[in-house]
Chains A and B, each alone.
Chain A
Amino acid sequence: MNPTDIQNPEYFHKVVDCQYACPAHTPVPEYIRLIAAERYSEAYMINWESNVFPGVLGRTCDRPCEPACRRGRVEEQPVAICRLKRVAADYKGDVQTMMPQGPFKPNGKKVALIGGGPASLTVARDLAPLGYEIHLFDEQPAGGGMMRSQIPSFRLPESVLDEEVGYVLNLGIHTQFNKYVSSLREVLGMGYDAIFVGTGAPRGRDLNDLPGRQEAGANVQIGIEFLANVAFSHLDKIGRKVLVLGGGNTAMDCCRTARRLGGTDVKVVVRSPKSEMKASPWEIEDALHEDIPIYENHVPKAFVTENGKLVAMTFEKVKAVYGEDGKRSLVPTGEPEVRFECDDVLIAVGQENAFPWIERDLGLEFDRWELPRLNKDTLQSTLPHVFFGGDAALGPKNVITAVAQGHTAAVSIDLFLEGKDVENERPSPMTNLIHQKMGIHEWMYDSTVANDKRFKVPHADKSQALNDRLLEVELGFDPATAYKEAERCLNCDVQTVFTTSRCIECDACVDICPTACITFTENGEEDDLRTRLSAPASVLSQDLYVSTDLPTKRVMIKDENVCLHCGLCAERCPTSAWDMQKYLYNTAKAGNMQYTR
């Protein structure tokens, strides 16, 4: 194998599994260390720079970082990264003063944002400090988009959302709420230098083909519309018996909301096996905890009405069969139809993009799935000054992806309006590798590996929570528990940096490494090398760190997979050939703006 090029910013970035997995690449270990040091405001600001909504995401994020967490590869549970983020938000001081302070010197350029969700707000946050005049349009009475309309208050209190949306709008954003944009042509004619579309995926799928759907009428609701109606207080009750169709997070929010509006017998019915449900495991767990059973392998067949009123639904039982190509098909088991009595049905079987307000003769092309044709790296449409982001861009994902796309689009818009090449002149990430040694056994980070198992977040009393849809269920960690949970972080951003010329091949690092990551052996091809290491190196997605040739013609090979970043190799190294160096990686923001010092 060729020696590893640690100058490539992506090499060590990949070692920080959580940050690498995060669409916005938030420097997770960096803020977790600040939480452990009770420096909550600074921890919050690191998040704010990267993901704009730490308080929201600390409660509602899909947490792609947690399955990636290295801790999950050496013991059962990853670090509770998401809930630590919330700790930073819960205990921070006055962060407003740490944010860019307007008014900003205008640069004379105007940008319109259509939609007021996470993607648009991110663009606003990134561009406003650079002097852009930002105009935001949204049909809702307040900003936040789906964070406001689709995430129930018992998961995300309105005050948290208002605060974080406020931080962005306070940067001098011109807002036009309660304003539904019905024509892009109209906006194009308003003289904006660039337009950003962040209108989300507003259309919930219906089951129009099912018999009885029309007769059932108003007792069948689309999940996201139901959630929005509840959020904006247009709706405050539901029938006693409620069926929720679908296995995603929207379904989980629907069933739990129904429980709070008077539903005493709420069932979730899923077509697929439970194991393939799209909802996050913790959301499923919370639904089960609220006495909501989940029926798997039930395909809806019909709505049953009596005297024009919905009384039940029928389902066909199926089982999942996997073809040779791994493709799943749901095959009827032949068992008798299942009938569930119900007063109301909520359909949460997916949502899709819809752009009825974009005229198709503007030069803005759509593909055959009716999604705008975009450059995926720049999010620029075929109309050069129109950019997309969030669910509106590449289909429905989640808040953190929308934020990441907001950053990308903001960089593109800035480059475009600076007259630069949007694709080829994008700024590089900011990276920094800092020596951590203070003494023989002393490092600038807490290198001791804590043995604690993951701590549980306390919940509000169930009966109280079910009686009040505004009462937040999760209570968050207290500072003492947050400290202990933060100590579980392995500090994967503190890198083991190897300097071949210093190594005397004494084997001290090999002998001390708790997880047998290090091997000195003859070089070879990767497949062959992976069989010759001190411990099995079967996780191919994790890189091997290969040194240049040592005096004995061998090379040092380190399997990054289960390195605990404990620093023992560097402590036991007599010549400092191993060194622990903290790697900070920040994705570039528009205008190379630095939000934290």
Chain B
Amino acid sequence: MTFVRPAFRHPDAPVNRLGYTRKFYEGALSTLCAGCGHDSVSGAIIQSCFEMAVEPHKVAKLSGIGCSSKTPTYFLANSHGFNSVHGRMPSVATGAYMANRDLMYIGVSGDGDSASIGMGQFVHAIRRNLNITYIIMNNGCYGLTKGQDSATADFGSVNKSGSANMFHAIDMCGLALELGATFVARSFSGDKQQLIPLIKAAMSHPGFALIDVVSPCVTFNNNPGSTKSYDYTREHIEATGAVDFVPFMNEITTEYAEGDTVEVALHDGSTIHLNKLSPDFDPCDRHSAVSRLYRAKAEGDILTGLIYIDTESKDLHYLLNTADQPLNQLGKDKLCPGSSALDKINAGLR
């Protein structure tokens, strides 16, 4: 019986800049169903953090409730974690982020957690532009309660019990664009070549970075007629372009063909290379992104890749003009400067 992963790893496993192997970024053995897309997303997060040489103790992983929200147990065992109330992860993330701006935040949520019970929280986290990588593991159903249609299930998609969905889906990317999100991407759990660079770019982006990942539920929503199955997604996937992420520290070694490549420079010196597949698309233009998204939907395609990025993004701490030093590290004297300071402020208002 195997409930424990063997301790041995490949003897020549590569090490990253910090001298860690990938093993250092792994978590506990997954208890999700065999073949769950979420495990692949966890794998992509592990690989991204390994390649980015992230220091695990400087990461906070937060989640709500659901299959997706179990996954933080399965990656980054050496990082901080918070498994919050259903749909309330954005509030907890906001609080944590306000208290300590030095951590890197990874929020993991599902279509139920973000598009139904947590919708109110989700939209305000976007509006406030928290500096967080927000990954939705989107399988179009409530896997934890036996596969009822979720709010992101497409109109007409047939679930495992054979009935077609009568409601239209909420498009999380379209919603995020509408709300002014500064980084919007969509990907597929079965395409790590695309997903890993997107996660790396999202982690470098100063602001709310949404990645809506189609992550099939093998148990309840991988049947013929489902629009979130492995087969359907593979058949209908259309990418905005091949994505590559070049961190600030690395030299650019890949050759990019001229003309159809957009280079998006991030504030930390990193670069996203988008080898575009359609010439009229500009990932830095919100109108272009919205129309591209609508067109794909009309044509029945699942648009993946980097959809929109605002390189001028200003996160919540910038907007609030908070101290550079994280609030949780400020002493009581700084946080509660006393009545004389209050008097000064009051005097300024007179």
List residues of A whose CB falls within 8 A of some B CB. 73-75, 440-443, 447-449, 451, 504-508, 510-512, 514-517, 535-536, 538, 551-552, 562, 564, 566-568, 571-575
Query: A575–B6 contact, CB under 8 A?
Result: no
* Contact sample, A vs B, 15 pairs, CB 8 Å cutoff: A440-B34, A443-B2, A449-B8, A505-B190, A506-B190, A508-B39, A508-B40, A511-B40, A516-B9, A516-B10, A535-B10, A562-B8, A568-B5, A568-B6, A572-B39
B2 touches A74 (CB 8 A): no
Assembly CA distance A517 to B6 (angstroms): 14
Residue numbers in B under 8 Å from A449 (CB-CB): 6-8
The contact string, 1 if C-beta is below 8 Å from chain A, for chain B 24-53, is 000001100111110110110000000000
Contact between chains at A448 and B4 (CB < 8 Å):
yes
Say whether B40 contacts A566, CB under 8 Å.
no
Closest to A521 in B: B193
> B22, B35, B37: which contacts A575 (Cβ < 8 A)?
B35
Complex CA–CA separation, A443 to B1 (angstroms)? 7
Interface contact B34-A514, CB-CB below 8 Å: no
Give the distance in Å from the alpha carbon of A325 to the alpha carbon of B236 in the complex: 59
With the chains together, A360 CA to B49 CA distance in Å?
A: 75
**Could you say which of A511, A536, A566 contacts B6, with CB atoms under 8 Å apart?**
A566
The reply on B216 being an interface residue by CB < 8 A is yes
Complex-state Cα separation, A505 to B33, whole angstroms: 15
Q: Which residue of B lies closest to A559 (CB)?
A: B10
Are the C-beta atoms of A448 and B33 separated by less than 8 Å? no
Asked whether A511 and B42 contact (CB < 8 A) given A504-B35, A573-B34, the answer is: yes
Cβ proximity bits B49-83 to A, threshold 8 Å, 1 near / 0 not:
00000000000000000000000000000000000
B347 interface hit (Cβ, 8 Å)? no
Contact partner of B230 (CB less than 8 A), chosen from A443, A506, A567, A568, is A506
Q: How far is the CA of A175 from the CA of B230 in the complex (A)?
A: 71
Tell me, yes or no, whether B131 is within 8 Å of chain A by CB: no
B4, B7, B10 interface centre (most CB from chain A within 10 Å):
B10
Asked if B218 lies at the interface with its beta carbon under 8 angstroms from chain A, I say yes
In the bound complex, CA of A445 to CA of B271 (Å): 50
A508 and B35 within 8 A (CB)? yes
Cβ of A183 to closest chain B Cβ, rounded Å: 58
Does B298 have its Cβ within 8 Å of any Cβ on chain A?
A: no
Looking at B2, B5, B218, B230, the one whose CB has the most chain A CB atoms below 10 A away is: B2
Interchain CB contact under 8 A, A562 and B11: yes
Q: How far is A567 from B3 in the complex, measured between Cα atoms in Å?
A: 11
Shortest B68–chain A CB gap in Å is: 15
Decide yes or no whether B12 CB sits under 8 A from chain A.
yes
Cα–Cα, bound, A558→B36 (Å)? 21
User: Does B128 count as interface, using CB distance less than 8 angstroms?
Assistant: no
Interface contact A451-B234, CB-CB below 8 Å: no
CB within 8 Å for A515 and B10 given contacts A504-B231, A506-B190, A567-B2: yes
Q: How far is the CA of A374 from the CA of B1 in the complex (A)?
A: 51
**Chain B interface residues toward A at CB < 8 A:** 1-14, 22, 29-30, 33-37, 39-40, 42-43, 189-190, 192, 216, 218-219, 222, 230-231, 234
How distant is A233 from chain B, measured CB to nearest CB, in Å?
Answer: 50
Q: Given contacts A447-B2, A567-B2, could you give 16 more A-B pairs where the C-beta distance is less than 8 Å?
A: A448-B6, A451-B7, A504-B222, A506-B36, A506-B40, A511-B42, A514-B7, A514-B8, A515-B9, A517-B10, A566-B5, A572-B30, A573-B35, A574-B33, A574-B34, A574-B218
Given A506-B216, A507-B190, A508-B39, CB of A562 within 8 Å of CB of B10: yes
Complex alpha-carbon distance, A506 and B230, angstroms: 7
In the complex, the answer to whether A507 meets B43 with C-beta atoms within 8 Å is yes
Contacts of B14 in A (CB 8 A): 535-536
> In the complex, what residues of A have CB within 8 A of residue B190's CB?
505-507
The complex places the Cα of A320 from the Cα of B35 at a distance, in Å, of 57
A568 contact set on B, CB distance < 8 A? 2, 5-6
- Indicate which residue in A441, A504, A506, A551 contacts B2 across the interface (CB closer than 8 Å): A441
Nearest CB of chain A from residue B332's CB, rounded to whole Å: 46
- The answer on a CB contact under 8 Å between B35 and A511 is no
A440 to B9, CA, bound (A): 24
Residues of the A chain whose Cβ atoms lie less than 8 Å from the Cβ of B43: 507, 510-511
Contacts of A507 in B (CB 8 A): 39-40, 43, 189-190, 192
Q: Which chain B residue shows the least CB distance to A516?
A: B10
Chain B residues contacting A442 (CB-CB under 8 Å) are 1
Q: How distant is the Cα of A175 from the Cα of B181 in the complex, in angstroms?
A: 93
Once the chains are docked, how many angstroms separate the CA of A509 from the CA of B14? 20
Q: How far is the CA of A46 from the CA of B148 in the complex (A)?
A: 55
The minimal Cβ–Cβ distance linking A565 to chain B, given in whole angstroms, is 10
Interface core residue of A440, A441, A510, A514 (most chain B CB under 10 Å): A514
Find chain B residues with CB under 8 A from A538 CB.
Answer: 12
Q: Which residue of A lies closest to B192 (CB)?
A: A507
**A475 CB → nearest B CB, Å:** 30
Bound form: Cα–Cα A552–B36 in Å: 19
With a CB–CB cut-off of 8 A, which chain B residues contact A535?
A: 10, 12-14
Q: How far is the CA of A441 from the CA of B33 in the complex (A)?
A: 12
Q: Smallest CB–CB gap between B78 and chain A, Å? A: 18
Q: Is the CB of B1 within 8 A of A441?
A: yes
Residues of A within 8 A of B22 (CB): 516
A448-B1, A506-B40, A552-B234 given; A564·B35 CB < 8 A: no
Residues of chain A within 8 A (CB-CB) of B8 are: 74-75, 449, 451, 514-515, 562, 564
Closest B residue to A506 by CB, please name it: B35
Chain A: CB-nearest residue to B4? A448
What CA separation (Å) do A53 and B289 show in the bound complex?
76
CA–CA, A505 to B5, complex, Å? 22
Task: Assess whether A551 is in contact with B234, with CB atoms less than 8 Å apart.
Answer: yes
Query: Which of B4, B35, B192 is close to A572, meaning CB atoms less than 8 Å apart?
Result: B35
Q: Which residues of B contact A443 (CB under 8 A)?
A: 1-2
What residues of B have a CB within 8 angstroms of the CB of A505 in the complex? 190, 230, 234
Contacts of A73 in B (CB 8 A): 11
Chain A residues within an 8 Å CB radius of B37: 506
Q: Which residues of B contact A440 (CB under 8 A)?
A: 34
How many Å lie between the Cα of A442 and that of B2 in the bound state? 8
CB distance from A488 to the nearest CB of B (A): 11
What residues on B are CB-neighbors of A574 within 8 Å?
33-35, 218-219, 222
| CA A514 to CA B46, docked complex, whole Å | 13
Contact between chains at A504 and B5 (CB < 8 Å): no
Give complex CA distance A451, B6 in Å: 8
User: Which residues of chain B have C-beta atoms less than 8 A from A551's C-beta?
Assistant: 231, 234
